[in-house]
Chain A
Amino acid sequence: MALLQISEPGQSPLPHERRRAAGIDLGTTNSLIATVRDGHVQVLADAEGRILLPSVVRFHADGTTTVGQAAAEAEVLDPLNTIASVKRLMGRGHGEIGASPYELSHTDEGPVRLRTVAGDKTPVEVSAHILRTLKARAEGNLGGELGGVVITVPAYFDEPQRQATKDAARLAGLTVLRLLNEPTAAAVAYGLDRNPEGLYCVYDLGGGTFDVSLLRLSQGVFEVLATGGDALLGGDDMDAAVVCHWVAEGARATSPSETRQLLRVARQARERLSAETETAIDVPGVYQGSLTRATLEGLIDPLIERTLIPCRRVLKDAGVKVADIHEVVLVGGATRTPHVRARIEGFFRKAPLHDIDPDQVVAVGAARQADLLIGNAGAADMLLLDVIPLSLGLEIMGGLVEKIIPRNSPIPASRAQEFTTYKDGQTALAVHVVQGERDLVSDCRSLARFSLRGIPPMVAGAARIRVTFRVDADGLLSVTARELTQGIESEITVKPSFGLSDADIERMLGDSIIHASDDALVRALREQQVEADRMIEAVEAAMADGADLLRDKERTAIEGQIALLKSVKAGTDPQVIRAAIASLDQASADFAARRMDAGLQKAMTGRSVTEFS
């Protein structure tokens, strides 16, 4: 598919060319996978017919793992080796998490590591096990390998949490077409079904996170206007509040396994109270009693109140009033609780929609988007425009934050800001990238640090350093710093200090060859071969179509690189192919950019003003 040769909306590939794609809701409590078949979304079940895969992984001493229901059943039995709600730990450093039911390995740097009988495990590795299980389920169901997936993340996930999710997918051998925000996915699921234009508010209270997003659907474009939430608030907190209440009433949990048992019983009681008004609680030797719906409502009310703060902020950020909202959509198991629904209805003065199962709605939307991105869903000419959830900025003098890209900016986004030196003769500049809304660096999330060196010595304030932030459609950031008088450049794709390094991932991929049948090297080779084919096809098509924009010398160079790439492509070393792709990319980048600008002008000049007005 060459640039400027975009297939017209409505043109879908022939049926036999349909590629396998799936949407994955990687949840705190449960995960699920869905796909589009004959135009309908199907949420895929395991051999026992179960749709929800509990997001629980149990590690065994022999290096094997159990995932899902069987692992969840072992939670009480083997609490330290059975990891649940790992999503809460994604992209987090040690200092950033509070009390944990697991044993943490003590390292000052890098991501949180959980100590298990099978060794230390990062949250990325744990999540990869969940993703592998879903991948196997889909591939068994669809009868072949998945071409790509869309994975959903809470809209409020920050950069390291998004990066960690992408790393987990890579580790599981999945090609990520896009990270999609959960509320956006839910809105897609509803919007495409009914297609009324207008403002949607998505209220998503899951097991571990709360998200609220405001979207506008108009002429097939889904535009996120504002998003907010609380990354550490969810149904789990309701369970914890119930357990605290029981402890105050005399329940005595003396071991991690008893605490876990109480939490499970609390969740079950909460679910039962959606239909009943009182339920008996019996945890032998720990607690016996009953829980009424009224008591539960009193316990969870402060938590629901907390969800309304981001709701107000999102309305304010988007400059929208409650009365302007067309529909309120509910997502997440915790929204089944009648009291949650009642409070939402009270706040929005409108009965919320919940006719798509709140546990499935996110996966349904993700499957639609995956089908579209892989090139199957020609009919649905829909575009999603997302925003970044938290402001991105730089540390400036005095430990203050200078915001470069404010929260709720549409992505992709790019913003540059100029800085200068503050000392005479200063030759280096330390760049500290942070994310958050507060004014002090110490109150924000530190994402990365790097240095721009080799600035020519000048008097203070004479150097001009441009720092450029670029955020892609997945919400991932890269930062470039450039000294403008001399052109010295330094670039970093943000890999947060508690993220995994590429070396970590390579090592884990290596490990997975030993422990699983997944052959990482073969996959890496195939990925590079596919990329090489795409690149050759795109450049050749561009050269045929845009010969007038091509300089003779450039043509010779590009043709040379194409020939080289074609010859190494058949080889077995992914690194060599990658290098040849990079060379062709470099040789053709200017030409591709010129074609893009020419295409833009053509798009604008071909139209008379009346077409736009």
Chain B
Amino acid sequence: MARNYFELFGLPVRFDIDREELARRHRELIRTWHPDRFAQGSSQERRLAVEMSADLNDGVKVLRDPIDRARYVLKLNGVSTDEETDTVMNPAFLQDQMVWRERLEESQGDARVVDDLVAEVAALRARKEEALGRALAQEAGAGFTDARQLVRELQFLRRFADELDEAQAGVS
């Protein structure tokens, strides 16, 4: 990516951001740079407007989402979360995952079991997101290692939450 998303929106590079302000800045900028504003412009202007708007849209998506934003902050600091290649996870975390999945499979569409799981996963995600915020707020990148692990776990939890969502849609 050529443009740093934080710079794009004129925000300091840090995890803790004001999401409403981000949305406001995105709206303001996209109003100016959307290709529709250049419908009568040259092809070069239209192309640049498409690129700029695409960056604004992609940027706001990344910065709005806590996991994506944390991953991006880490990446800007040279820390990769390596989710594709490094599949080693904390054994205790994996153990919890397996138990949950078993409960989901054994639920046989029982709405109460699924609802309980949804609540437990949501609570854990909230705790982990808080921890992620604390890790990334530490001075001089002291919390990066913890943050990296938390991003990976949250990604796992997000996928599982999506599956639960589908299961919930299925039973209702």
Interface residues of A (CB under 8 A from B): 1-3, 6, 148, 177-178, 219, 221, 316, 372-375, 383-385, 409-416, 470-473, 531, 534-535, 537-539, 581, 585, 588-589, 592-593, 596-597, 600-601, 603-605, 607, 612-613
Contact = CB atoms under 8 A, between A and B. Distances in A.
A316 B172 CA distance: 13
Given A410-B57, A603-B32, A1 B43 contact: no
A2 B48 CA distance: 12
A414 B51 contact: yes
Contact of A412 (B3, B9, B54): B54
B34 A383 contact: yes
Given A374-B39, A410-B61, A471-B54, 5 more contacts: A375-B40, A411-B54, A411-B57, A473-B35, A613-B18
6 contacts: A1-B41, A221-B27, A414-B55, A585-B43, A589-B44, A600-B52
Interface string B23-53: 0110111111111111111111100101111
B8 interface: yes
**Which residue among B8, B21, B35, B55 has the maximum number of chain A CB atoms within 10 Å of its CB?**
B35
Nearest to B85: A461
B83 interface: no
**Which residue among B3, B32, B33, B44 has the maximum number of chain A CB atoms within 10 Å of its CB?**
B44
Contacts of B43: 531, 534-535, 581, 585
Nearest to A613: B21
**Which residue among B25, B28, B50 has the maximum number of chain A CB atoms within 10 Å of its CB?**
B50
A374 B40 CA distance: 7
Contact of B38 (A1, A593, A600): A1
A612 B57 contact: no
A593 B49 CA distance: 10
B58 interface: yes
Contact of A535 (B8, B44, B48, B50): B44
Contacts of B37: 6
Contact of B45 (A148, A372, A383, A592): A592
A177 B36 CA distance: 8
Given A383-B36, A385-B30, A596 B42 contact: no
Contacts of A372: 36
B27 A177 contact: no
A178 B10 contact: no
Contact of B50 (A415, A473, A613): A473
Contacts of A538: 41-42, 44-45
Given A1-B38, A473-B50, A604-B9, A415 B44 contact: no
B36 A178 contact: yes
Contact of A383 (B25, B30, B54, B169): B30
A3 B40 contact: no
A177 B39 contact: yes
B53 A412 contact: yes
A585 B27 contact: no
B52 A596 contact: yes
For the complex of A and B, 5 pairs with smallest distance between CB atoms? A604-B10, A414-B54, A373-B39, A535-B42, A534-B42
**Which residue among B8, B36, B169 has the maximum number of chain A CB atoms within 10 Å of its CB?**
B36
A6 B32 CA distance: 8
B57 A409 contact: yes
A592 B53 contact: no
B1 interface: yes
Contacts of A415: 58
Nearest to B27: A221
Contacts of B8: 600
A260 B40 CA distance: 45
Contacts of B36: 178, 372-373, 383-384, 473
Contacts of A412: 34-35, 50-51, 53-54, 57
Nearest to B21: A612
B31 A3 contact: no
B55 to A, nearest CB: 7
A61 to B, nearest CB: 42
B105 to A, nearest CB: 20
A413 B58 contact: yes
Given A409-B61, A593-B48, A612 B25 contact: yes
A470 B29 contact: no
Contact of B54 (A6, A470, A597, A607): A470
A603 B28 CA distance: 9
A588 B42 CA distance: 12
Contacts of B39: 148, 177-178, 373-375
Contacts of A597: 3
Interface in B108-141: none
B58 A414 contact: yes
Contact of A605 (B10, B29, B42): B10
Contacts of B34: 383, 385, 412, 473
